[in-house]
Amino acid sequence: MRVVIQLRPATDLITAVTDPGTRVSPADVVGALPGFDLDHDFEPVAVPRRTDNPNYSMAPEHTAVVIRGELDDDPTTHQRVSELAMVTGVFADPTIEPVLTCGGDPAVGDWHGVGTLLHVSDLANAGLTGQGVALAVVDTGINAAQVDRVRGGHMTIDAARSWNPSGVTGTAGKFPVDHGSMCAFDALICAPNASFLDLPVLRSTRQGQTTMDGLLSDALAGYAYLRTVLSDQPAATRALVVSNSWGSFSPDWDFPVGQPGNYSDNPSHPFNVIVGSLEAAGADILFAAGNCGRDCPDGRCGYTDRPISGANSHPSVLSLGGVDTTNQRVGYSSQGPGRLSDRKPDVCTYTHFAGSQAFGPNEPDTGTSAACPVAAGLVAAIRTKWSATALPPAQLRAAIQRTALDRPATGFDYDYGYGVADSAALLADLRRTANRA
C-alpha cells in the first residue's frame, strides 16, 4: 500500500529539509526500513507541530519529516515499522481526484451572469481585481490559451512561483485543457488581474494508474512549497489564495476511521496539519465540499454519511457547496456535517453555468469544482486591498459567513452552510469594520 511515513531524524537533517535552498534525498533521511519500498523521487517534506491555537512551530525540536513509498500489506510489517524509534506515524496516502459532477443537465445561466450576481463591476470600481494577489490553483494544470480564448482577455501565469510535483513534466499555464483550466477560468470572474500559480498536483501518477489519479503526498509537498511562497511576501501585502477542487471520495482509499494513519477523520494526518499551518501563516485556503449530495451523488462516492472529509472539512478552510444562478442548491453538492469540523460546508457559490468550455463548447462548468474557484476569485479580489496581515484568514472567513445570503432559512444548515456568498454585503461589512478601526 502507498503510505507516507513521518519521522524524527537527526536535527541536522531536519534543518536541511526545512531549508528551501538545500536538496535532501529520501535516502539521506532514512535507511532501509523492513518491508518498505522508498520512493526516491519524492523529496522529504517538513511538517510543523501545532504548539497552541493558532500557532505552529517549525523549530527543529518540533518539526517532523515525511517520506513516501510502498509498505508491505502484512499488518505485522506495518506494526514493526510504526514501532521504530524514529517513526512517529504511518499515514494513508489516498488517491485524490477532481470534484466533477454526476449531472448531465444543461447550464443554468453563464459566467457573465455569475459576474453580475457577484457584483464584479462594483468590485472593479473599488479597485478589487486581484491585482498583486497570488492565486494558486492546485489541480490538473492550467491551459492559459484556452482560458484567454474563451474570456477574450489575458490571464497572468506566475511561472516563477508555480510548482510541479516530482515526475510531472510540463510548463505552468501550458498543460492540456482539463479540469484545472475550468478552475482558473472561474477564479478569473472576480479576480481578472490576479497572478496565477499553477500546481498540477492531479497530474501526478503512480505505476499502473492514470492521470487524474493524484496522490495526497504530492499535495502535501505542494503545500510545503506554498509556505515558502507566503513567507517570501512582505507582511504588509501578504496575500496567497489556494483553490482546491478535489478530494478523496471513498473510505476504501484510506485507513479505517480510528486508526492512527487515517486521513478522513484525523486532524493529525500530516496533510491536515500542513493545511492548518499554511492558513495560520496567512493563506486563504478553499476546498470544494464535494459532489456526494444525497439527491445526485457522484458515482465514486463511497461514504454512507458525512462525505465532506479530510481537508475538505478542515476548520481552517472555507468549504464550498454549490448553487445555480437562481440560488438553488444543486443536487450533487455535498451536505454536512463535516468530518474534521461539523459546520461544513461554510457557504455556497455558483456552479453549473456556461463558462470555460474546458469539456466542450456546450458543457457547463459544474460541480463544487466550479463553486470553489468562483469563491477563490472573490477572496482574491478582497485581498487586493485587505492583506492577510490586516485581515487574517479566519476573520475573512467569518465575514463571508455572516454576510452570506440565507438560503432557505436564517442561520446555518447542512445544505447551504451559512448561505450563498454575497460580495456586496461582504464589501459593505469590511468597509464598516475598517471605518470603526
List, as one string, the DSSP characters of 344-394. Answer: ---EEEE-SBB---TT-TTPPB-HHHHHHHHHHHHHHHHHTTS-TTTS-HH
Alpha-carbon distance 161 to 166, whole Å? 16
- 348 strand-pairing partners: 321, 420
pLDDT at residue 72 above 90?
Answer: no
What DSSP character marks residue 292? -
pLDDT for 437? 57
Q: What angle do CA 226, 202, 77 make, to 5 degrees?
A: 90
Q: What is the mean pLDDT of residues 243-253?
A: 90
pLDDT for 139? 97
Q: Where residue 426 falls among pLDDT bands split at 50, 70, 90? A: very high
Given a contact cutoff of 8 angstroms between Cβ atoms, the answer to whether 204 and 221 are in contact is: no
Q: What is the mean pLDDT of residues 26-34?
A: 87
Alpha-carbon distance 199 to 137, whole Å? 6
pLDDT at residue 74 above 80?
Answer: yes
pLDDT at residue 10 above 60?
Answer: yes
What pLDDT, in 10s, does the model give residues 374-388?
Answer: 999 999 999 999 999
User: What's the burial of 299, exposed, middle or buried (CB within 10 Å: 0-12/13-18/19+)?
Assistant: exposed
pLDDT for 214? 65
Q: Hey, what amino acid is at 233?
A: Q
pLDDT for 208? 44
pLDDT for 76? 86
DSSP codes, 183-249: HHHHHTTT-TTPEEEEE-GGG---TT--TT-EEHHHHHHHHHHHHHHHHTS-GGG--EEEEE-EE--
pLDDT at residue 263 above 50?
Answer: yes
pLDDT for 78? 83
Indicate the SS3 state at residue 325: coil
252 CB neighbour count, 10 Å cutoff? 9
pLDDT at residue 209 above 50?
Answer: no
Alpha-carbon distance 53 to 315, whole Å? 12
Per domain, the residue ranges of the chain are 2-92, 97-436
Query: 60-74, 178-192, 339-353: which range is least confident on average?
Result: 60-74
Q: What angle do CA 263, 27, 51 make, to 5 degrees?
A: 45
pLDDT for 206? 62
Q: What is the mean pLDDT of residues 140-157?
A: 97
Alpha-carbon distance 87 to 137, whole Å? 32
Please indicate whether residue 98 or residue 138 has the higher confidence score (pLDDT).
138
Q: Hey, what amino acid is at 180?
A: G
What pLDDT, in 10s, does the model give residues 393-425?
Answer: 999 999 999 999 998 777 899 999 999 999 999
Q: Where residue 211 falls among pLDDT bands split at 50, 70, 90? A: very low
pLDDT for 130? 98
What pLDDT, in 10s, does the model give residues 77-93?
Answer: 888 888 887 899 999 99
From 243, 232, 351, select the one nearest 296 (Cα to Cα). 351
pLDDT at residue 210 above 60?
Answer: no
Alpha-carbon distance 386 to 35, whole Å? 51
Mean pLDDT of the chain: 92
Q: Hey, what amino acid is at 140?
A: T
359 CB neighbour count, 10 Å cutoff? 16
Alpha-carbon distance 144 to 358, whole Å? 11
pLDDT for 54? 73
Q: Is 320 left (phi over 0), alpha (psi -120 to 50) or beta?
A: beta
User: What's the burial of 60, exposed, middle or buried (CB within 10 Å: 0-12/13-18/19+)?
Assistant: middle
Predicted TM-score (pTM) of this structure:
0.95
What pLDDT, in 10s, does the model give residues 313-338?
Answer: 999 999 999 999 999 999 999 999 99
Query: 253-257, 263-267, 343-347, 379-383: which range is least confident on average?
Result: 253-257
Taking the alpha carbons of 348, 341, 397, 358 in that order, is the dihedral positive or negative?
Answer: negative
pLDDT at residue 212 above 60?
Answer: no
Taking the alpha carbons of 301, 303, 308, 314 in that order, is the dihedral positive or negative?
Answer: negative
Given a contact cutoff of 8 angstroms between Cβ atoms, the answer to whether 311 and 336 are in contact is: no
* CATH 3.40.50.720 describes domain 97-436: no
